[in-house]
Amino acid sequence: MAEPSLSASPSWPGRRRNAAKHAAIIAAARELFFARGYASVTMDAVAAAARVSKMTVYGHFGDKETLFAAVVQDFTHSLLAEIGRAATAVGPLAERLAAVGRSFLTLICSRQVVAAHRALVPTLAADPALARRFYESGPARMRAALAEVIAAAAARGEVCVPDAGAAADDLFSLWCGNLPDRLELGVTDDVRPEEIAAQVARTTAVFLRAYAGAR
């Protein structure tokens, strides 16, 4: 039987009155989605894991897709905060970008994210609408935030970029290198912090040389 959707009645302030329940639902859903994938997780299972009623889950999030998007947003919150600090911090741009890069690479190379990627990709590949919701809830927000940092640096004359969004894509790709692929394929079991730091420092320097050369 299809699960009911209460998305037609938003009333978000009322839904968030109990912050503890809201956080418990997010935590339970994240564990279930990341371990089992999206399709096999029901709102009943989330409610049981969070120790709340199913109607409480629906009251906070409306439907499973909205809950999934909230999980993705919550999971990327710490990285967005790091990007925000880079936007306002003083000091060399290389150091500010490298701080973001280390947080980003540490996040995507974590065992939890690698396992989640394996569990979620088949469903996302088969459901374009859900894949877009995932992208807009996480990766797109990170891209936009980093693009703002790069655009601000360009306005100060620290770099010269024709398109801050494209430059953010370049920097994310440089930071990643082949580390996520190695982890996804099981070629590497873990990535040491010093390896992450070295890769971020090297590729951030490559990025800055490339865009400084565009002056």
Structure confidence at residue 17 (pLDDT): 55
CATH of the domain at 207: 1.10.357.10
Same domain for 191 and 122, yes or no, is yes
The pLDDT of residue 193: 93
**Are both 27 and 94 inside the same structural domain?**
no
* Structural domain contains residue 143: yes
Helix (H), strand (E) at residue 40? none
Distance CA 196, CA 176 (A): 9
Q: Do residues 174 and 203 touch, judged by C-beta distance below 8 A?
A: yes
Q: Is residue 1 part of a domain?
A: no
In tens, the pLDDT along 58-80 reads 999 999 999 999 999 888 887 78
Return contacts of 61-67, CB within 8 angstroms, 24+ apart: 61/15, 61/25, 62/5, 62/6, 62/7, 62/9, 62/10, 63/3, 63/5, 63/6, 63/7, 64/3, 64/38, 65/130, 65/133, 66/7, 67/25, 67/29, 67/43
Q: What's the pLDDT score for residue 10? A: 38
pTM to 2 decimals? 0.79
**64 and 83 share a domain?**
no
Q: What percent of the chain has pLDDT over 90?
A: 62
Range of the domain at 161: 76-212
Same domain? For 61 and 167 the reply is no
Average pLDDT by stretches of 10, the chain with 215 residues: 35 58 93 89 96 94 93 85 80 92 91 87 90 92 93 93 96 94 88 95 97 65
Q: What is the CATH number of the domain that holds 60?
A: 1.10.10.60
Q: Which residue has the tokens 């569990």?
A: 119
Which of these three, 37, 52, 68, is where a domain ends?
A: 68
pLDDT score, position 212: 87
Q: What is the domain count for the chain?
A: 2
